[in-house]
Structure 1
Amino acid sequence: MLLPLRRLSGHLSRAVALSASADVLLPLRRLPGHLRRSLSTAASNPPWAMIYRLSETPNYTRGASFSLAPPPSATLFSIPERAYDLEERKRNPDRRYVNVHASVVFAASQDGLLLLKTTRIRLSAHTAAGLNLARPTEQEAKVVMEEAVEQEYVRYVCNPITGQLVRLPDYLGMKEILQTATGLLTQADGGHGPPKRYAVVELLELNDEGRFVVFCFSSDTGKWDATVRPSPLQPGRVMRLLNHEVLAFGGRLWWVDVSLGVLSMDPFSDKCELRHIKLPPGSVLPRQSHAEICDLIKYRRMGVSDGRLLYVEVSMEAPYQIRSFVLDEESGRWTLEHQVSLDAKERPLVGAIDPLNADLLYLNLGAEVIVSVDMRRNRIIAQSSVLASGIQPCYCGSNVFLPCVLPSFLGSSQIPGKKGAPKQQTLADALVRSDKC
């Protein structure tokens, strides 16, 4: 049963979920041949996952754990407790203190590796006693940060199939160099198969100076470098790089400002030049405040789908117009791909863009239901309860789902390490310092 979008209002509780039907088959027509084959032969895993980006509960295994589920169901993950602080294992337990753990997935590479950060916050037992640390409110989370005795941040590249974690070194001892505006790009020999190298790049804008600092970690060298690049933006305009993941597409990383456009660069190039492309006409907005951009990102999203870069937006007023645009890389122009109308009581949030089918979009309705929308046929073809995935609606707001493709070679490949270093012996779910691997 296909549900027309205009019938949605008031009928969320009666929406029908279609699991394994022809309507949810994902065409792979524009993907590179090697990736198309590897995705289609991974029988035990879905071809891609919609990863819930936040995790608060550590596991006690040797590696990361992902409960891979076919979208629109969410995939949850957990990180081993020792990954939050390697030195913590050497300390004697101290009952005067309580550790609070959290981890977040920043970005995915084009072939399924993930970039994530773990946070361990140490609180006095007295302070922790009055807090709901399992599900803290916004005010309780503020108390945790203000009353923290100690904070420890560790960054990793992760293989979601094997659970392997490779630790990134700190940049000159700076723990907080890795923020949300950080992306992960890989390269394979000959452009095919498992990645042979990767780069982790953070873009930091120097306000009102017309320059960006580019922090880049290379798996080939095992080191961070920093360079300064001129801004391609108009004078006086800044990029609001908040919450939106950095995209890996076409051999470049793409930083997204949902009020302005994108910046892209090739970190494997010696020049590392920044290029700027604006949003479609009519979508560019004046300079936004922090609060405005945090609200706007709920209803605008970019993603890589079917071998193309897509931009999706939801109009402000009902009936809500949902439009998707495709970028022509050569001209830098956007073409309207789809436009559908949605009658809903609340403005839908953009959950995720399907990475394999540019016709499919995932919307978050009322913070309780994720629906899969076929924009070409103007139909809802599947739905999933947020609660059924183990996610509380209050934690299901802006940009909390990350699309990640899962090619089959991930199950038999290791995360690349420094050139000339001994090859790792197994696919161990062990923690490996990338500057010593």
Structure 2
Amino acid sequence: MASQTLRRLRLLAARAAALPASPHLPFSAPSRAQAHMASSSWAVLGSIPRVAPPADGADVSLALTPPPRVSILTVSPRVFPEPVTPKYFPFVLAADPSGLLLLQATLGRPWTREITDGPHGPGVHWHNSEPRYFVLDANAGSAFRLPEPKPVDIMHQALLGLIASPGGGGHYMVSELRPIMGTDHATLLSFSSEVGKWVEKSVHYPLARRIFAPIGVVSHHGRLWWVDLTWGVITSDPFASDPALRFVPLPPDRVLRSREAWGESDMYRCVGVSAGKLRFVDTYYMGRVIGGTPNISVWTLPGPDSTGWTLEHEASFGEIWADESYKATGLPVEIPTLALIHPENPDVVYFFLEKHMFGVDVRARKVVDCKLYDLVAPPRCAVASRFVRAWRLPQQQSPGMLNWSNDPILTAKDKAPHGSYPLEGLTKQTFIG
């Protein structure tokens, strides 16, 4: 109910301050965006791939299309052998510039009872799914299934991240942060491609008695960054022999109450790497909505060891709507859904609205690109920033695996059933004391 009220307030405030909608005109981007190359150093990758046998027999293939159009990954039925549903579906958790992708491909199963041995004696667990995780090599077209981390299970896929080894050689680390809420203890559960097995490392957990609400993990500056869009980020180097966790809260006036915007924070916020720095984009903040329109703000973490964010630039949606570049798109005067930040130009932020994805130069208050987009899932009414990845492409691409295409069109059979496609997991975070 609270989230529905929030949406109504945002829409009413936006309409009250908006100029009359302009007639539909052909979109003409500013001059610096007119020369759009047939290829790009990055791609907008749809998080949910389609499942189909690739033509060349590989387990993974990708037809790239220049942003802001969405590039769609294809995985073979060997990777996901069952029909896609809104509860069980393949999902790209992380995309590394090395060409590696981390894919969750959990399958549904009938409820089963399992007796396990734990540190406090035997325990009973009920399961209705088969967790499966793959590291995909988009260059080679291969899929490596990670072994199960027995006797434990992955706690939550949004706590699982991928980072390339600083030593190179195609090696990587997949790590999950496993906090025990209410204590100062946590575990880093990591799979190293060099060691070939899962290893647990105990770490000090720096947070108070509040549930960390994960939405995803970003790799940056040789570290993993676990993101809670309502509170802040936790960072650590999983390659360290004695890793330490450090918490960086969001700017004080951007920290939300526990469970505020639960399940929809990534419609209004995102954290990503742009121009070599970690950035936080916020369109949720309500402080200046009354009598005006919501703002787009872009914040920067100046360095990997910084303790606070710097506001880079801010603009209101009203200023964007009033510009001729927005009127030329023919889009309605409505608050869009946040998609991502440009990985090379931190001035540019992308949004979903109706059938389009469009980029806004926040500093200049102008639309710089606008294209139709298509996703396997979810339906357009349920899109959010977690359903696309700004992927910096590997510098050396193997022919046949990452092909540029002018228009990869999804057919009806490529589409997944309608649904919200939420991030789900075992969520074994517990309170002690």
State the Cα distance separating 1:160 from its structure 2 match: 2.6
Q: 1:162 aligns to what SS in structure 2?
A: coil
Q: Match for 2:78 among 73, 78, 82?
A: 82
Is 1:111 matched with 2:98?
A: yes
- Aligned partner of 1:236 in structure 2 is 209
Structure 2 residue 232 is matched with structure 1 residue 261 = yes
Structure 1 partner of 2:348: 360
Residue 224 of structure 1 and its aligned partner are, at CA, apart by: 0.4
**Matched residues in 1 for 2:101 and 2:18: separation?**
35
Give % identity. Answer: 28
Distance 1:376 1:214, change over 3 A: same
- Tell me how far apart the structure 2 counterparts of residues 265 and 161 of structure 1 sit (CA, whole Å): 28
RMSD (Å) for aligned C-alpha atoms? 3.4
How far residue 99 of structure 1 moved from its aligned partner, in angstroms, is: 8.0
Contact 1:57 1:102 in 2 (8 A): no
Could you tell me which residue of structure 1 aligns to residue 412 of structure 2?
Answer: none
Whole-angstrom CA distance in 2 between matches of 1:8 and 1:55: 37
Query: How many Å separate the matches in 1 of 2:84 and 2:71?
Result: 25
**Cα deviations by residue, 1:31-78 (Å, 9 ceiling, x for unpaired):** xxxxxxxxxxxx984211111111353335322121211111111112
CA deviation profile, 1:303-323 (whole Å, cap 9, x unmatched): 100011111101343512100
Tell me what 1:14 maps to.
Answer: 24
Q: Tell me, in whole angstroms, the C-alpha distance in 2 between the residues paired with 1:389 and 1:23.
A: 27
> Residues 84 and 152 of structure 1 are in contact (CA less than 8 Å); yes or no, is this contact kept in structure 2?
no
User: What is the match of residue 407 of structure 2?
Assistant: none
For 2:27 and 2:317, the matched residues in 1 are separated by 18
Q: Which residue of 2 aligns with 1:140?
A: none
What is the rounded CA distance, in whole Å, between the counterparts of 1:320 and 1:181 in structure 2?
A: 30
The equivalent residue for 1:328 is 302
State which of 185, 190, 207 in structure 1 corresponds to 2:181. Answer: 207
Shift of 1:398: 4.8
The residue type paired with residue 268 of structure 1 is F
Q: Describe the SS at the equivalent of 2:242.
A: coil
Q: Structure 2: how far apart are the matches of 1:158 and 1:208? A: 36
Provide the residue aligned with 1:224 in structure 2. 198
TM-score for the superposition, normalised by structure 1: 0.70
Give the length in aligned residue pairs.
Answer: 348
> What is the CA–CA distance in structure 2 between the aligned matches of 1:13 and 1:195, rounded to whole Å?
55
Structure 1's unaligned 5+ residue stretches are 1-5, 27-42, 89-97, 124-148, 415-437
Relative to 1, partners in 2 of residues 1:226 and 1:17: Cα closer, same or farther, differing over 3 Å?
farther
Pick aligned residue for 1:384 from 371, 374, 388 = 371
* Pair 1:153 & 2:147 matched: no
DSSP-derived class of the 2:363 partner: coil
What residue is the counterpart of 2:33 in the other structure?
Answer: 23
Q: Which residue matches 1:406?
A: 393
Whichever residue aligns with residue 258 of structure 1, its letter is L
Are the structure 2 counterparts of residues 325 and 299 from structure 1 closer, same or farther at C-alpha, using a change threshold of 3 Å? same
Aligned to 1:311: 280
Query: How big is the shift at 1:356?
Result: 1.2
Matches within 5 A, 1:66-215: 66-84=62-80, 102-121=89-108, 151-172=129-150, 176-177=154-155, 179-189=157-167, 195-215=169-189
- SS of 1:107's partner is strand
Cα distance, 1:326–1:397 mapped onto 2, change above 3 Å: closer
What is the rounded CA distance, in whole Å, between the counterparts of 1:390 and 1:239 in structure 2? 26
> C-alpha separation between the residues in 2 aligned to 1:12 and 1:165?
48
TM-score, structure 2 normalization: 0.71
Residue 352 of structure 1 aligns with an amino acid whose one-letter code is L
Alignment of 1:268-279 (within 5 A): 268-279=239-250
Runs (5+) with no aligned partner, structure 2: 1-14, 111-126, 322-332, 402-433
- Find the partner of 2:337 among 331, 345, 349: 349
